[in-house]
Structure 1
Amino acid sequence: MSLYRSVRAIADASGEGPIDWAAVAEAAKAVTPPGSLDLSETEREGYAADVRDARSRVREVSGADFDVPETIEVQNRHHWIDANIDTFRRVMQPVEEHGPAVMPGVARTINTGTMSVMLTVLAKNVLGQYDPLLLAEGDEHALYFVRPNIERIAGELDVDYDRFRRWIAFHEVTHAAEFGAAPWLSDHLESRMESGIDALAKGHLDREAFRELDAAMTAVEGYAELLMDGAFDDEYADLREKMEARRRGGDPVSRLVRRLLGLGLKRRQYERGKAFFDVVAAERGIEGASAVWDRPENLPTDAELDDPQRWLARVSP
């Protein structure tokens, strides 16, 4: 790792836009050890078997007709940074197009540094990622596993590596099931994201767009938890509890960074979404809960997430 090389890349940020994405990637990689991808044949087959088994079990539990993405990668941290640079760039495009032109050199340095810090923190902590590649051209999806992080965190939590890896695989495949069951979901999330970020870039706050985006992501995370409860072939309360304890721990700076990156919001989405689907599934079963993916209008509203009976009354079985 080289802090000097990272700082130098940010300080030398150049180009016409408010963010130098090449410098973002260089700065993030400079302070992020890539980690080992020295997989044995047994471990490599383990990843493949986990995904195959997860697909079979999630299909059985959900009744959804879906397949896993063609792109399935076991990555190191640098691979993950490269894979997500384009996603970050697409998401930030409205800001780049409408951002302020005052002191562009200074703004570019600050923006480049901010993006590199975000990617650095995420690259060191992401375990798996189902990526519908929002805002990309075409119907693209990918499934990533960041092997060095899975290995490190399994050790920190003192849990069996193979079991932990399998748990991550099942969780990411549940997301593949959701997007497979709802082909419209990528476009829906993209439109809400574009609207919200475009408004921010123009100096406004589109509260409704962000509220709808949060409600949709809460449904995504909550339904995934519902499927996990039925699909995973082992008890995993201990894994969830240890992961939660890890998220709550750490030094104050780490907790602040996680909050700024919205990782606390993601946990809230898990919990709120799971509580919603627990009520819905108790009354209508998983098949009835799956009606949420029939069409965009079936997504729960922000108010319905806290009052599932309102959704049950609105959406026919």
Structure 2
Amino acid sequence: MTLSDSVRAITTASGDGLIDWRAVTEAATAAVDPGELSLSAAERDGYARDVRDARTRVSEVAGVDFDVPDTIEVQNRHHWIDANTATFERVLGTLETTGPGLAGFARVLNTGSMSVALAFLANNVLGQYDPLLLAESPTESHALYFVQPNIARVADELDVAEERFRRWIAFHEVTHAAEFGAAPWLPDHLEARMEQSVDALGDGRVDRQSMRELNAAMTAVEGYAELLMDRAFDDEYEDLREKVEARRRGRGPIAALVRRLLGLGMKRRQYERGKAFFEHVVEARDIETASLVWGAPENLPSDDELDAPETWLARVD
């Protein structure tokens, strides 16, 4: 498939909704090289070992027991697009056209925007813990993905050993599995706010409260993961973080624009803000107190408390 196939898929988008998800998959796949996915036995064993070791270390550090996902996939970029198109469709698929006037144009525009987003992410995502929010089947609990072509390429670009880089990614994603394992109520909490936000958009409104609560929850998720990584990873990794950040800053203006449009700058802000919150809590108390955040939905810090950890401590400790 070629770029022209991608454009054709977008311009012929059809259906009743505001996004043609079949066309999204076809267009994003056509625009992205799938990448090499031939793993040696040693590499397959390495992924399994990294995930297993990460689970052990994170359990020890956090003091919580959790299961790693049954679904652990080493993917190429097309595999990742397939999995995440399904995720986006679950979240946004309830949006319907509001009238025949501009429905076709809006569908093409939205389909194109989603295709560009997925193609960009497929070329850049390294690993992903997927809680499979809004999944219809109760057996689909969560999944863990590693995009091998991206891991190999970025390790080479950063001039670091691929095995060490892969292990770092595995540890980070397993910390997210620990959070959702410690807080079985978390998927429902996130799903409710996502649905409220999407429903409001479908009505032409912006539900700022739901979006604020969703952002606060995700900030806690990202910040706690960073806290665990600092304590669980069995190697120094500041050099890896610095190289990844330098690579991100060195991207061209188009990539920077796409990242901004996708909200990836906000995700970086969630990392930084959440980590600062939990570091303050641990310094003032300990990691067990920080872990209280997963005790119940009401234990999550509010948006204001994220910038005033002592207020959160006074409320829950």
- TM-score, with normalisation over the residues of structure 2? 0.97
Is contact 1:175–1:220 with CA below 8 Å preserved after alignment? yes
Provide, for residues 154-205 of structure 1, a one-character-per-residue CA deviation record: whole Å limited to 9, x for no partner: 1111111111000000000000000000000000011111111111121111
SS at 2:144 equivalent: strand
* Corresponding residue of 1:273: 274
Is contact 1:249–1:255 with CA below 8 Å preserved after alignment? no
Asked if residue 156 in structure 1 is aligned to residue 157 in structure 2, the reply is yes
Q: Which amino acid counterpart does residue 107 of structure 1 have in structure 2?
A: A
Provide, for residues 22-64 of structure 1, a one-character-per-residue CA deviation record: whole Å limited to 9, x for no partner: 1111110111000011111101100000000000000000011
Alpha carbon RMSD of aligned pairs, Å? 1.1
Q: Which amino acid counterpart does residue 223 of structure 1 have in structure 2?
A: Y
Asked if residue 105 in structure 1 is aligned to residue 72 in structure 2, the reply is no
Is contact 2:17–2:95 with CA below 8 Å preserved after alignment? no
Indicate the larger mover: 41-50 or 198-207. Answer: 198-207
Q: Gaps (5+ residues) in structure 1?
A: none
Partner Cα separation in structure 1 for residue 111 and residue 208 of structure 2: 26
Give structure 1 regions of 4+ aligned residues with deviation exceeding 3 angstroms: 98-101
SS at 2:286 equivalent: helix
* Corresponding residue of 2:84: 84
Identity rate, percent:
70
* Corresponding residue of 1:292: 293
Indicate the larger mover: 130-139 or 51-60. Answer: 130-139
How far 1:230 sits from its partner (Å)? 0.7
Q: Which amino acid counterpart does residue 171 of structure 2 have in structure 1?
A: F
* Corresponding residue of 2:170: 169
Partner Cα separation in structure 1 for residue 201 and residue 180 of structure 2: 27
Is contact 2:17–2:93 with CA below 8 Å preserved after alignment? no
How far 1:284 sits from its partner (Å)? 2.0
Partner Cα separation in structure 2 for residue 71 and residue 174 of structure 1: 16
* Corresponding residue of 1:72: 72
* Corresponding residue of 2:122: 123
Q: May I ask how many residue pairs the two structures share in their alignment?
A: 315
* Corresponding residue of 2:94: 94
Aligned pairs for 1:240-279 (under 5 A) are 240-279=241-280
Q: Which amino acid counterpart does residue 122 of structure 1 have in structure 2?
A: L
Partner Cα separation in structure 2 for residue 66 and residue 284 of structure 1: 24
Q: Gaps (5+ residues) in structure 2?
A: none
* Corresponding residue of 1:303: 304
Provide, for residues 119-158 of structure 1, a one-character-per-residue CA deviation record: whole Å limited to 9, x for no partner: 1001000100000011112252000000000111111111
How far 1:95 sits from its partner (Å)? 2.1
Partner Cα separation in structure 2 for residue 48 and residue 42 of structure 1: 10
- TM-score, with normalisation over the residues of structure 1? 0.97
Q: Which amino acid counterpart does residue 192 of structure 1 have in structure 2?
A: R
How far 1:99 sits from its partner (Å)? 4.5
- When residues 71 and 99 of structure 1 are mapped into structure 2, their CA distance, relative to the original with a 3 A threshold, is farther
